Structure 1
Amino acid sequence: MDTKAAFDRDKFEAKLIEWWPQAKGNIVRDGDDYANHLMSYAWWGWKESRAAIEIELPEGTGWASDPYNHGRNNGINQCAKAITSHGIRIKGKTE
């Protein structure tokens, strides 16, 4: 499992425990899934909800050597990294 997926799973489990405190200590993973079928369905729904979100960012200018555009391009790239680190796709850039 990659780091992003582990982070997403950790967020899912934290939200699950927040919503259903009795789950704490009872979350049993079965490989990439959960031993409890209801938790497996919830995990599937969590992943699908993240996959359904897609954000469109402005294009960079392509003029990285221009000091006026460098900051803009850098900002767009930093936004893209922050967005994709949460499992959200960028339109036309990520699958």
Structure 2
Amino acid sequence: MDKSRQQFEEEMAKYLNISIEFISKERRGDRYYSYSMNFAFDVWQASRESLEIELPEPNADDSGSPNFYSGYNTAISDIHDELISNGVKIKNE
């Protein structure tokens, strides 16, 4: 399950004062048995669509030698992966 869906289900469980397990049982593939849960998830996804950032371009001089730029590309790559796993889109991709 992706991070966005997990966050949605956690928030719905809190809002509805029900267990996360109940919501998980209602899930059928990408949808839910409940029309209102499907609607809420569609709205949740639409709100996440606006989460889009632009990362800096990789540094061509990042040769891995120990200097100020050492590890720059690795850091950008790690940030990229973390953002993607949290449902954020990357503009310059």
Shared fold per TM-score greater than 0.5: yes
- 2:74 is the alignment partner of 1:78: no
User: Deviation per CA, 1:28-86, whole angstroms, max 9, x where unpaired?
Assistant: 12332111111101111111211221111111112231523332211111111111111
Which letter does structure 2 place at the counterpart of 1:55? I
Gaps of 5+ in 1: none
TM-score (ref. length: structure 1): 0.77
Runs of 4+ more than 6 Å apart: none
Go from structure 1 to structure 2 and tell me whether the alpha carbon gap of 1:85 and 1:24 turns closer, same or farther (over 3 Å shift): closer
Distance 1:17 1:33 in 2: 16
Deviation at 1:20, TM superposition (A): 1.5
TM-score (ref. length: structure 2): 0.79
What percent of counterpart residues are identical? 30
Number of aligned residues: 89
- 2:35 is the alignment partner of 1:37: yes
RMSD (Å), alpha carbons: 2.0
